Chains A and B, each alone.
Chain A
Amino acid sequence: MPERISFSRSLYRSDAVTAVAGVYAELATFAVDASAEHEVVVTITDPHPSLADELADAFSNHVLFESIRRFREEQGGAV
């Protein structure tokens, strides 16, 4: 069953979502929809059977980490 995650644009960076989806591409199919104004929606299908339980959580965690890293880098500060 596909899992849908909605990342608010005011909290997450769209480029971070896309970058992490690319990194996780071998573990499942990630469809990134960045057409909405306030959110980026990711639909995860066909997850690797051994990771199905926590793939969405791990993916979201990684997107948050990457978003914070990029925001801070953009501000010129350390993470």
Chain B
Amino acid sequence: MTTADALEDELAYLDDGRRVSFTVDETVYPLDAIYGAAYLFVERCFVFLDRPADQKVEVRLKPKSTPADGELDALAGEFANELLNQVLRQRVSESTARIREYYMARAFFSAPAQASIDQLLAELDAEEMEEDDLEISVPWETSDAGGGGA
């Protein structure tokens, strides 16, 4: 059995020489995953979705130019792979959601209390108004410095 045959068994796709179609079970591949895969394919081929029955989505893929030998099989296979990829991404995203939330919460709320922007501005103002303890003279304050050359 070739890979295409195995894929055909799993996906049961129909190929009329111009387009390929197959039915996806929404209980296995959620609609979000189907949309995710379809979104990536609309640039490569014409994608049409239909609803033959409840929880079933028929996907029709038609290359934008006349398909070469085996191109339709490959297209169906790539779409199936992308479906799996989308489901996996979704599951990883869901399973790590709490970890992400935890780190976000920690970043925002666990850090020591910091001065507010007003407090920081007030501190800067106060520093500007303080005299320089070291009394380091700068050229624009020393009009009577007399020369200043080396």
Q: Do A58 and B49 touch across chains, with their CB atoms under 8 A apart?
A: no
Q: Do A61 and B46 touch across chains, with their CB atoms under 8 A apart?
A: yes
Separation of A57 and B64 alpha carbons in the complex (Å): 9
List 20 additional contacts besides A61-B48, A64-B48; criterion CB under 8 Å: A8-B49, A8-B50, A10-B51, A11-B51, A11-B57, A12-B49, A54-B46, A54-B64, A57-B48, A57-B62, A60-B48, A61-B42, A64-B42, A64-B49, A65-B39, A65-B42, A68-B38, A68-B39, A72-B35, A79-B39
How many B residues touch the partner, as a band? 10 to 19
Q: Which one of B46, B51, B57 contacts A60 once the chains associate, using CB atoms below 8 Å? A: B46
Interface positions, chain A 37-67, Cβ under 8 Å from B, are 38, 54, 57-58, 60-61, 64-65
Tally A-B pairs: CB < 8 A.
38
Closest residue on chain A to residue B50 by CB atoms: A8
How many A residues touch the partner, as a band? 10 to 19
1/0 per residue, CB under 8 A from A, across B40-69: the answer is 001000111111000001000010100000
**Interface SS of chain B:** strand
Q: B-contacting residues of A (Cβ < 8 Å)? A: 6, 8, 10-12, 38, 54, 57-58, 60-61, 64-65, 68, 71-72, 79
Separation of A65 and B38 alpha carbons in the complex (Å): 8
Point out the residues of chain B lying under 8 angstroms from A60, CB to CB. Answer: 46-48
8 A-B pairs whose Cβ atoms sit less than 8 Å apart in the complex = A8-B50, A11-B57, A38-B51, A57-B48, A60-B47, A61-B46, A64-B49, A68-B38
